Amino acid sequence: MGVKIDHKNPKWIEQFKMRLKKQCDKEVAVGFPAGKDGIASPHYENGASILEVAVWNNFGTEDIPARPFMDNAAPKLQKAFKKLCAETQKDVNSGKLSPETVLKTAGLQSEAIVRTEIMEGDYAPNTEATRKAKGSSRPLIDSGDMRKYVTSVVRGKR
Q: Which residues pair with 155 in a beta bridge?
A: 27
User: In the structure, what pLDDT confidence band is assigned to residue 9 with cuts at 50, 70 and 90?
Assistant: low
Q: Tell me: the pLDDT tens digits for 102-148?
A: 999 999 999 999 999 999 999 988 889 888 988 888 888 888 888 98
pTM above 0.85, yes or no: no
Span 36-54, average pLDDT: 75
Beta bridge partners of 26: 156
- The answer to whether 110 and 80 are in contact (CB under 8 A) is yes
26, 156 contact by CB (below 8 A): yes
Q: Are 46 and 53 in contact (CB under 8 A)?
A: no
Residue range 78-111, pLDDT digits in tens? 999 989 988 998 888 788 988 889 999 999 999 9
Segment 46-57 shows an average pLDDT of 87
Q: Which residue has the higher pLDDT, 33 or 8?
A: 33
What pLDDT sits at residue 2?
Answer: 43
